[in-house]
Amino acid sequence: MSQAAPLNRRMITISIMLATIIQALDGTIANVALPHMQGSLSASQDQITWVLTSFIVATAIATPLTGWMCDRFGQKNVFLAAVAGFTIASVLCGLSGSLAEIVAARMLQGVFGAALVPLSQATLLDINPREKHGSAMAVWGMGVMIGPILGPTLGGWLTDSYNWRWVFFINVPVGAMAFYGIWRYILRSPAPRKMRFDAFGFVTLSLAIGALQMLLDRGEQNDWFAATETWAEAILLALSFAWFATHTLMRPAGQSFFDYRLLRNTNYVGGLLFIFIVGMVLFATRALTPTMLQSLMGYPAAVAGLVTAPSGLGTMIAMMLAGRLVGKLDLRLLLGAGFAITAFSLWQMTRYTLVLSRADIIWPGVIQGLGLGLVFVPLSAATFATLSPQMRAEGTAIYSLMRNIGSSIGIALVQTLLVRNTQTVHSALAEKITTANPALLDNLATPQAAALLNNEITRQASMIAYVDDFWLMLILTLCVLPLLLLIRPANSSAPGEAALAAHAD
């Protein structure tokens, strides 16, 4: 593949980034169309959420397969199959006439789309020399970030202007262009076929990941451990992961489904920890702000999307800047600056009140985007700086998986705390509202007045709960700063560390 870089690097980059964008978009673009799907497919509110859950779970389970698939069939063949399968599954989603059909099609989307993001990252690292890895990761990061930034806005526009089916049909022309570009410009390389398929390892890891995603996605809806389903998912998660870990450690290196030699690379392990936290902070904050604007401040969905979208501009500007600075500055300085800027933006969000101008929303978002952009690019470069090319496909797959798990945990955490803190604060505020207070007697004279007062208490309690969530994200961001000590520049890594990760027994 590296032989194609001097000839077609630009076209290869465009082609694989088109594939990355459609996969990243589909993680969020369908969210705003759920109410329309619910009526069209005659589904209940509980049932329609499976449109999201099925995609998330299938993607998480299939992602670790990427390394073995590339070893068995070749990276180009896997890429082509993934793009074609994802595009066809998108058509099936748009043509679905029942809930069962769209859930099955979304599962297919998740299975085929799981390889797109890690393969695009691995391919960009392969076709670019080391000194250009920073710029390559800036391009890749922008493609990955487009999903959570533009997904809700684009999904809302397509749904309102046409119908919910175009949320999926929009993938067809983009997928076709990506398929042609990959087929035309990436050279085919022979499949090494050195890895054995560890069926037991794959099954136990898939069960663990699937149970975790189900627990996180449906936990709040089921009132967590008050439901039998949550207990069943937690037990399945614990047992499956224990079996997987024991099985992996007992097998010779290179013969298990997960090659634990990856964990001998200090930079890679540090990168996994960082991207886990980034996933938590990024996606949790993105999930909080639009709902806060719509539920507490009366913003229409389209306006909420426009107000939050400028954060993506900050991200892209920072990524382009970071791409030029990688290789010229210590990666730890860029990472530290990025996390510090992100922490500052979250501190600004902790000062939110129910009376905010649009500028009060836009500027903290832009600043957060700048911080995350400065983190994303050097983090990707540092994570794979000392990892051998032979392990990139598997390494990028686990990297993407950790980002997805981090985002799932982050969203579940902030949503749970939001609901529970709202209830707690509401009770505390309502205790102060009694007829013994003469100033409130007139306000409680009629049921309508009491209802209005209760609504206002709920708004105030919700705002406090949102601020508490922003405080949590701020604390998590600050706590990750000491982990910068785990990251070492590529030229100071232990001798032969990358080779050890690739070949040690």
Give the Cα separation of 7 and 19 in Å (integer).
21
Amino acid type, 86: F
CA distances from 364 to 188, 303, 373 (A): 45, 17, 14
468 with 421: CB under 8 angstroms? yes
Report helix angle 358-383 to 310-325, nearest 10: 30
Q: What is the pLDDT of residue 242?
A: 92
DSSP 387: S
Q: What is the pLDDT of residue 436?
A: 62
Question: In the chain, which stretches have pLDDT less than 50?
Answer: 1-5, 492-505
3-state secondary structure of 109: helix
Q: What is the pLDDT of residue 236?
A: 92
Amino acid type, 458: T
- Tens-digit pLDDT profile for residues 236-251: 999 999 988 888 888 7
384 with 118: CB under 8 angstroms? no
Strand partners, 329: 326
- What is the reported pTM? 0.76
| Residue owning tokens 């892209």 | 316
**In this structure, what token pair is assigned to residue 431?**
């205790």
CA distances from 197 to 208, 245, 260 (A): 18, 16, 15
CA proximity to 205, closest of 72, 62, 108, 67: 62
- HSE at residue 305, side-chain half, CA atoms within 13 A, is 18
Q: What is the pLDDT of residue 291?
A: 76
Q: What is the pLDDT of residue 3?
A: 43
The length of the chain is: 505
- HSE at residue 489, side-chain half, CA atoms within 13 A, is 11
